Structure 1
Amino acid sequence: MKNILIVDDETTFLLSLKEGLISLEGDYNVLTSSNGKEAVEVMEKTKIDLLLTDIKMPVMDGFALLAHVVSKRLHIPTIVMTAFGTSEIEERLNNLGSFHFLEKPLDFKVLANKIQDMFKEGATGYIEGVSLASFLQLVEMDRKTCTLRVKSNKKIGKLYFKGGTLVHADTGTLTGDKAACEIMCWADPEIEVSGVCNIKKHSINSSLKSILLNSCRLEDEEKGSDIEKMKQRIVVNSSEEADSELDLDIIELEDIVTDNPMNTQQKEEKKMSVDDKLKEFASIEGFVGVGVFTPSGESLCSLTGDKAKNLKDIGILANSVLVNAQKASLEMGTGRGQLVHIEAEYANIIVRCLNEGTDPLRSQPGKAHIHLMLILNSDAALGLAKMKIGKIIGSLADEFRV
């Protein structure tokens, strides 16, 4: 039985919503709370499968409740009910990915369909809880004035918002944009929300979205640096049975990305699986090379034809183009970009992103996040190539899920 928790201070609305959801086809147990404090008490006693919450409530509002969900890493699928009222803000909220948004007054049929769809998606692992990035953007869009005290291990920082604008950040050693960026990079943050902002100093010079994107970039660079330090632990294998025209290198990453290293047989099976999948690209007319990369540009595996040169170097540059395009598409409010096609004088370079997580730019545990780059000559069959990319990149997810 799925436990749905509805949080709203309007008693009549709460009861009618509960009755409606109970009447739906589905094994649902509907719990209710009139504010965030009551909701926290319910979540401490009961495993909640779906959270449906209002934003403006007495005692403990929706922001404080969502901060609790982030801090405790509950990973509860969430629907936020609010009256933002514009299609532009609705689209921006939906693009955040970590939670769903419905505008009040609710259309019950829309809500029912949303809940049923979320449980279907949850069965395949695509629904995540509220992330810190999404929470901060919700504060911005609600034009909330507040102070957020963020704690991670022994580090403590504060983010100050006035009317939804981030105006100041402080970690004790840093202030302004640098402090905000560092706080947003902290792992497993705990958040406390105060409904006041008693700060007169304005030290933030960039938009919240720019700071969030910069924090993602810094975190990815740090991950890339950590991998460089552990290169001596990486085993590089060459396929002796590969076609004479193909040069295939597979970098084994299990020893640094999992607590349970694969045995020799499992590694060989995985290597063969990746080999076979990448070799499908070699049948495309005009094939030059193909590679799989991490979001930070680290090469995971590659397959090259006899005319390919510096595939990994090209891959790093093309990977950077895709990441920058994704950042730009987020800045434009169009959602995260999935593919870039570089049409050059002598070659076509196509880079496609596969991200099972909810964060557009950051890898998440248990979720595959890879970039596949395909290089073809200038007169290649591009339509077939893009179709094959769409097919094969999905099948590679199991090989690179960490």
Structure 2
Amino acid sequence: MDKVLIVDDEKSFLLSLHDGLSKHKEKFEVLCADNGREAIDILRTTKVNLLLTDLKMPEMNGFEILAWVLRYQPKLSVIVMSAFGTPEIEERAEAMNALQFLNKPLDLETVESAIFEGLSTGTNSFIRGITLATFLQLMHVERKTCTLTVTSAGKCGHLYLFAGELVNAEIGDISGIEAALSIIGWDNAEIVMCSVCERRENVINFSMEHLLMEAFRAIDEANHGIKANKQLKSIVNGSDRDCCKTAATQGEEVGADHINTSTDGNNAKTSALENDSEQNHLTTPKGVQMMEEKMEVLKKIKGFIAAGAFSADGEIMAEVSVSSTLRLAEVGALANDILLKAQEETDIMGVGRGSMVHIVAPKANLLMRCLNENTDFHNSEAGRAHIHMLVVLEADANVALAKMQLEKVILDIAEEVR
């Protein structure tokens, strides 16, 4: 018979659940614990099929129970009784089979439904096991301050959380956001918690929601295995333009996850940078210097090759590069054509004009981003930016970090236009 372990320090609530669920005693057995230590003792000695736990408890709290489960019984089905977080993360968590949450106060019917769903082997919506990303999600919701030591496949890293936000991360000599995104993406992670945050300075400066969404997107990318047309390798090899044109006209496989269906609108034929006097200053020496300075941060990304800011017509305005052979102006013009074609196609699909294309080629990753703030993409408007940016990375580069930094840089440049 299946066994369900319920952990909560409110004994009256625990007893009422036990009594209410007793009518299902022929289907599953209910075990109870009013603190984390007792729960761990039960889990060590008894085969439990489903764990239902609160987070805030004395002695050993729910986070410590989850850390133990993640390490010793990672396939155990878990339900957490807690408030959740943003609707966007909840939707994404459900889509990826993350953790199931029940919002307190609870009624018996809700608990019964969740338990039967959790015990059902045929369900696809219930989450089986705990991931590091969902564990961090809980830490954020409950505003926890701690240090997490995370190990996976012989690797060891540290995550530092203060009031529920990730302020720093370390893997050997690597620190900050690059280390954080790497650790969050580890499979079969084991966690050891320390209740003290050993690094208080916030060097990441991205919200937990943003980091988790990037982690989810990176997992999606890996799962979908998006491939690019092999002819695109000529772009980073510097081979002839005609070959690159062929690749562009044939089109690339661009997954839905990589086309952000923004409805801001993007004009394939009208350059706001040429028509809007407020944006013309970007092409002045001072404007070019400003853009280059803002793009310098992209050089810190592992596997960075080059980045450029372009007009909506694909004309390069500023660039930073570590390559002496890459012809960024030419690559940008071709990538811009692909972006505009993708925008036209998504418009035809009825999902709005896409704002980013990610091309995965054998020797490089190309990220082409369009920021168009105009309400009518056919016309330029004073005080509104229309900028395209390209980032070229090595094949094994930290793409998730690059996307985050690209978004920040293009918004910073747009701020100079507004």
Query: When the two structures are superposed, what TM-score results if normalisation uses the length of structure 2?
Result: 0.53
Q: Partner residue of 1:123?
A: 122
Q: Partner residue of 2:93?
A: 96
1:51 CA displacement: 1.0
Q: Partner residue of 1:268?
A: none
Q: Which runs of 5+ in 1 are unaligned?
A: 224-293, 300-308, 329-341, 352-402
8 Å contact 1:67–1:193 — kept in the other structure?
A: yes
- Deviations 1:57-108 (Å, cap 9, x if unpaired)? 11211111112222235222222113x4xx8657854752222222222211
Q: Partner residue of 1:210?
A: 210
1:135 CA displacement: 0.9
Q: Partner residue of 2:79?
A: 79
- Equivalent runs, 1:168-179 vs 2, <5 Å: 168-179=168-179
1:343–1:208 CA distance, 2 compared to 1 (3 A): closer
1:220–1:123 CA distance, 2 compared to 1 (3 A): closer
- 1:203 aligns to what SS in structure 2? coil
- Deviations 1:195-246 (Å, cap 9, x if unpaired)? 221323221122223333444566677x6xxxxxxxxxxxxxxxxxxxxxxx
Q: Partner residue of 2:109?
A: 109
- Equivalent runs, 1:277-288 vs 2, <5 Å: none
8 Å contact 1:213–1:327 — kept in the other structure?
A: no
Q: Partner residue of 1:29?
A: 29
Q: Partner residue of 1:386?
A: none
8 Å contact 1:93–1:101 — kept in the other structure?
A: no
1:89–1:185 CA distance, 2 compared to 1 (3 A): closer
8 Å contact 2:52–2:81 — kept in the other structure?
A: yes
Separation in structure 2 between the aligned mates of residue 37 and residue 68 of structure 1, nearest angstrom: 11
1:159 CA displacement: 0.8
8 Å contact 1:6–1:33 — kept in the other structure?
A: yes
Separation in structure 1 between the aligned mates of residue 167 and residue 197 of structure 2, nearest angstrom: 10
State the structure with bigger RCO (CA 8 A, min sep 6), 1 or 2: 2
1:52–1:326 CA distance, 2 compared to 1 (3 A): farther
- The structure whose Rg is larger is 2
Separation in structure 1 between the aligned mates of residue 15 and residue 124 of structure 2, nearest angstrom: 30
Separation in structure 2 between the aligned mates of residue 94 and residue 21 of structure 1, nearest angstrom: 29
1:101–1:202 CA distance, 2 compared to 1 (3 A): same
Separation in structure 2 between the aligned mates of residue 311 and residue 349 of structure 1, nearest angstrom: 20
- Equivalent runs, 1:214-233 vs 2, <5 Å: 214-215=214-215
8 Å contact 1:4–1:30 — kept in the other structure?
A: yes
- 1:179 aligns to what SS in structure 2? helix
- Equivalent runs, 1:326-337 vs 2, <5 Å: none
Q: Partner residue of 1:140?
A: 140
- 2:197 aligns to what SS in structure 1? coil
> Does 1:186 find its partner at 2:186?
yes
1:185–1:114 CA distance, 2 compared to 1 (3 A): closer
8 Å contact 1:343–1:349 — kept in the other structure?
A: no
Q: Partner residue of 2:53?
A: 53
Q: Partner residue of 1:388?
A: none
8 Å contact 1:21–1:28 — kept in the other structure?
A: no
- Deviations 1:261-294 (Å, cap 9, x if unpaired)? xxxxxxxxxxxxxxxxxxxxxxxxxxxxxxxxx6
1:123 CA displacement: 2.2
Q: Partner residue of 1:322?
A: 257
**Amino acid paired to 1:175:** S
Provide the aligned C-alpha RMSD in A: 3.6
8 Å contact 2:217–2:257 — kept in the other structure?
A: no
8 Å contact 1:79–1:100 — kept in the other structure?
A: yes
1:53–1:103 CA distance, 2 compared to 1 (3 A): same
Separation in structure 2 between the aligned mates of residue 59 and residue 327 of structure 1, nearest angstrom: 48
**Amino acid paired to 2:191:** I
Q: Which runs of 5+ in 2 are unaligned?
A: 229-245, 264-341, 352-418
**Amino acid paired to 1:41:** D
1:148 CA displacement: 0.9
1:54 CA displacement: 0.5
- Deviations 1:114-147 (Å, cap 9, x if unpaired)? 2223334x32454322211111011111111111
1:196–1:327 CA distance, 2 compared to 1 (3 A): farther
- 1:23 aligns to what SS in structure 2? helix
**Amino acid paired to 1:155:** K
Q: Which moved more, 1:123-132 or 1:143-152?
A: 123-132
Query: When the two structures are superposed, what TM-score results if normalisation uses the length of structure 1?
Result: 0.54
**Amino acid paired to 1:96:** A
1:13–1:218 CA distance, 2 compared to 1 (3 A): closer
- 2:18 aligns to what SS in structure 1? helix
Q: Partner residue of 2:224?
A: 295
1:344–1:168 CA distance, 2 compared to 1 (3 A): closer
**Amino acid paired to 1:105:** P
